[in-house]
Amino acid sequence: MESLNHVSLFSWLKEEQTLTFNAQTLSISRHLESELPNGAARYRCVYAEQSVESELARLLAALSQPVSLAYIVRKNALHCIELRLDKPLNETEIKQYALIDGVEFFSISPNQAVLNRCGLLVMDMDSTAIEIECIDELAVMAGVGEAVAEVTERAMQGELDFEESLRARVAQLKDADEAIIKTLCDKLPLMPGLTDMVTELQSYGWRLVVASGGFTPFVGHLKQLLDLDAAYANELVIEGGKLTGQVTGQVVDAQFKADTVERCAQAWEIPKGQRLAIGDGANDIPMIEIADFGIAYHAKPKLEAAADVAIKQLDLKVLPYLLQLL
């Protein structure tokens, strides 16, 4: 296997303007992200630490076909290179990239959604936009945490009907003081990378929506904090300062989430190909499947199998790198 100096390679890619990089008999060309490929296989490798570049250089040197590289820049601290090849990588080659710690590796379609055109992203909330499951946290604060967490996990795995599990969990909150809702809102932990991702998409005019099987106070908090376009969730019934153990109105279940993608796309005239959804649990599958591009985020196996791509190691800052900038 030919040696390839990763410092020289990545310095050339990020800082120089020459069109080719030569290392002994190996020649690597470069391209611009905006140059649409003509029949080429395209991959993007996203990473947080430059220390992985030596391993990436080793894999590039091992390729048995010509490669063109582009350094992809977004408005956050991650790094990304795009590979364009005459022939697709085989499963073994793809696995070598994907198994590097701190690396996300994706195949990029010629029809990939475009970052600098209007688009729609519908997000799940619990364990996607925020780090917690709100129902579980409320249950802990109400003293019924263990019983509720077990039902939540079974629902996320797709073992239980969502509405049935929702009502069963909320029933456990009966007589809890409504003050626990504000307490949790005040310390709601945003998912790492959420703010950067939202800010970048909004800078290009994207519409951003939360559709959650959680509860209205928390999606309302996110909507206001991040200036989102819409937010949907279930409404808890509160009487006399206490939770009644019930929800009221339309249940935001899997079908409601899927309908949200179509309804918002129609209302805002989002063109085909520009409708995205991201989630982590089985309840997000219909939403992921109806979107033009569905993203699994640190997801349960059933959701990951249904999605177009899966973010497994890094945070939400990865998402803009999945989109083309033309």
Here the CATH number for the domain that contains residue 48 is 3.30.70.260
Mapped onto helix, strand or coil, the DSSP state of residue 296 is: strand
One domain, residues 71 and 125: no
Are residues 101 and 215 located together in one domain of the fold?
Answer: no
Give percent above pLDDT 70 in the chain.
97
Residues assigned a catalytic role: 124, 126
Q: Are residues 42 and 126 in the same domain?
A: no
Domain boundary among 107, 142, 174: 107
Q: What is the band of 153 on the pLDDT scale with cuts at 50, 70, 90? A: confident
pLDDT of residue 1: 38
Are the C-beta atoms of 203 and 75 separated by less than 8 Å? Answer: yes
In sequence order, the 6+-apart residues with CB closer than 8 A to the CB of 259 are none
Asked if the model's pLDDT at residue 157 lies above 80, the reply is no
- The C-alpha atoms of residue 279 and residue 301 are separated, in whole angstroms, by 12
Domain of 288?
A: 119-132+190-321
- 298 in the same domain as 202: yes
Instruction: Let me know whether 97 and 126 are in one domain.
Output: no
Please report whether residue 61 resides in a domain. Answer: yes
Same domain, 202 and 241: yes
Number of domains in the chain: 2
Domain with residue 242: its CATH number is: 3.40.50.1000
pLDDT over threshold 80, residue 298? yes
Distance CA 257, CA 124 (A): 8
Residues 263 and 284 in one domain: yes
